[in-house]
Amino acid sequence: MSSELRYTANTQLEHLHARYTGTGHADLTKYEWLTHQHRDTLASIVGHPPLISYLAIADGEAIGRVKFEMTERMLQPCGPPPPKDE
């Protein structure tokens, strides 16, 4: 019974990983996880007009300018990647 539950849990987890790219996996580094989180947050802000309006008013900028800056920040939201160890 427990092996059957473990199999279903693993298949459900694999399904989640395939469906949602930001859920991570065992080999995900801290930098990659943080980058996913920042990109998801920025995409959510850009996709919700009330949030982008709030930020534009708070910054005293045009809505288009704030959208542009958020979209530009999605390229490298956490700065350049750390050097890889071989």
* Residue 14 in domain: no
Cβ pair 41, 71 in contact under 8 A? no
* Residue 16 in domain: no
* Residue 19 in domain: no
State the pLDDT at residue 27. Answer: 77
Residue 73 DSSP SS3: helix
* Residue 55 in domain: yes
What string of pLDDT tens digits covers the 86 residues of the chain?
566 666 677 787 777 777 776 666 667 888 888 998 999 999 999 999 999 999 999 999 999 999 999 999 999 888 888 888 76
* Residue 2 in domain: no
For residue 12, with 0-12 CB atoms within 10 Å meaning exposed, 13-18 middle and 19 or more buried, which class applies? exposed
Compute the distance between CA of residue 71 and CA of residue 75 in angstroms, rounded to an integer: 7
* Residue 4 in domain: no
* Residue 54 in domain: yes
Domain range enclosing 72 = 25-80
Q: How many domains does the chain have?
A: 1
